[in-house]
Amino acid sequence: MVGGGAAGILAAISSAETGQQTLLLEGNQQLGRKVLIAGNGRCNLTNRDADDPEHYHGTQPHFVRQVLRAFPLQETLTFFRDLGLEVKEEKRGRLFPTSDQAQAVVDLLEDRLGQLGVGVVKGAKICRAVRAETGFVVDSRDGRSWTGRRLVLASGGVSVPKLGADGSGLELAKGFGHRATQLLPGLVPLLSPDEYIRPAQGVKVWAEVRVALGKGRQAIDTDDLLFTPYGVSGFTILNLSARIVPFLERGPLDLAINLFPGQSPEQVSEILKKRWERHPQRGLAFSFTGLLHGKLVGPLLVKLGAAPDQPVGRVPKAQRWELARLLTSWAVQVTQPRDFDHAEVTIGGIHTSEVDPVTLESYLVPGLYLAGELLDVHGDLGGFNLQWAWASGAVAGRGG
């Protein structure tokens, strides 16, 4: 196995469990560095909805189906429970260790590797992998060499490269004739050129965000939305980015933000009307006090082009309606994602058309398997990326 992240560790465990002599080669001095920082150090290891293929994306969206069926949520939970890991559920079906410690996940996986007698070599950055008569030969940068009958590449994508997955594994796959799709940052904050929203930086609100993607398609999510010095972030943006970043390649998109999720412009107009009737002498900006975060009011009135001091009793009905529409469908432009250093996953990877969706064996090189983020598969926010890594690792490790 090349790569001691979530996918590589699961591949090594499942390989050893089927009785194969197994070696795990990891470039870092530590296994599972991304698992350790996942979920802010608490590790959102999977999701109640993990078996639903709709949460996974790539050029061939159906590619994930058989792998998800081969190592479904129940098997994942049983696997971790057998290791000693108890899990708890949080919002949106996200599952975490009850100890709230990602370290526990890595410690228990390492314990299992030890039990199974898997040879673990840390600090082995692989720079060359070739087919030989009896199998494969891999060489590390520091001049060491290993041979094996099968080779699993689970070397990750290119997000947060300082954690180990720096694209060198993609080069190994390319050396075998595999091709990679375009790589883009995913689960990532988005940049906005709309300067007038900057005063709202630091504000986190509960909002529904819609994005029209053309041809009648749209992406929609309701959760925390965070205004930042460069644009927007928060759970809802990171989650939407999994679907909208590829579309940003074609040009800017407008987010339609509803600050009153589930409510229509008519309902919000009514709310304003009642508040304004109660305090008609209040200025427009002050009239939002107690309803909206104060730092949002300035940017909203700039967008509306309304004077902040005008008494609400004198605001015409048409302007109240415009304001209600703005509050339920605030157009904020986004132009591009932040870079890979700020992205939780890589959108894109090795073309899945070159890999058997049942076994994850390469169609180009018999005995070569590919797993995890290295492949052109990425999931939504909420534990789906680790589920893909565990499941694809387990399948690749079994070896058909």
Ligand X SMILES: Cc1cc2nc3c(=O)[nH]c(=O)nc-3n(C[C@H](O)[C@H](O)[C@H](O)COP(=O)(O)OP(=O)(O)OC[C@H]3O[C@@H](n4cnc5c(N)ncnc54)[C@H](O)[C@@H]3O)c2cc1C
Interface residue with ligand X, options 58, 148, 156, 299 (CB under 6 A): 156
Of the residues 67, 165, 203, 248, which one makes contact with ligand X according to CB under 6 A:
165
Does residue 354 bind ligand X (CB under 6 A)?
Answer: no
Q: Do 311 and 280 contact (CB within 8 A), yes or no?
A: yes
Residue 391 CB, shortest distance to ligand X, in Å, is 11
According to DSSP, residue 311 is labeled B
DSSP state of 292: B
329 is a contact residue toward ligand X (CB under 6 A):
no
Q: Which stretch binds ligand X (CB under 6 A): 72-80, 155-163, 236-244, 278-286?
A: 155-163
User: Pick from 265, 299, 383, 397: which binds ligand X (CB under 6 A)?
Assistant: 383
Which of 327, 394, 397, 391 lies closest to 55, judged by CA?
391
Query: What's the min distance (Å) between Cβ of 389 and ligand X?
Result: 4
Applying CB under 6 A, does 148 fall inside the site for ligand X?
Answer: no
**In this structure, are residues 345 and 373 in contact, taking their beta carbons and an 8 Å threshold?**
yes
Of the listed pieces 149-157, 218-226, 237-245, 332-340, which binds ligand X according to CB under 6 A?
149-157
3-state SS class at 205: strand
Residue from 50, 68, 151, 154 that binds ligand X (CB under 6 A)? 154
Query: Of the ranges 35-43, 82-90, 265-273, 304-312, which one interacts with ligand X (CB under 6 A)?
Result: 35-43
Residue 120 makes contact with ligand X by CB under 6 A: no
Cβ contacts of residue 52 below 8 Å, gap of 6+? none
Residue 348 contacts ligand X per CB under 6 A? no
Q: Which residue bears the tokens 């526990």?
A: 104
User: What is the spatial distance between Cα 3 and Cα 10, in angstroms, rounded to a whole number?
Assistant: 11
Among residues 10, 72, 83, which one has the least CA distance to residue 46?
72
74 exposure class (CB count in 10 Å sphere: 0-12, 13-18, 19+): exposed
Regarding 3 and contact with ligand X (CB under 6 A), the answer is yes
> What's the start-to-end Cα distance of the chain, in Å?
15
Residue 7 binds to ligand X (criterion: CB under 6 A): yes
Q: How many CA atoms lie within 13 A of 310 on its CB side?
A: 11
Least separation, in Å, of the C-beta of 163 and ligand X?
A: 7
Least distance (Å) from ligand X to the CB of residue 343? 7
Q: Which residues form the interface with ligand X (CB under 6 A)?
A: 2-8, 25-28, 33-35, 37-39, 43-44, 124-126, 154-156, 159-160, 164-165, 168-169, 344-345, 372-373, 383-386, 389
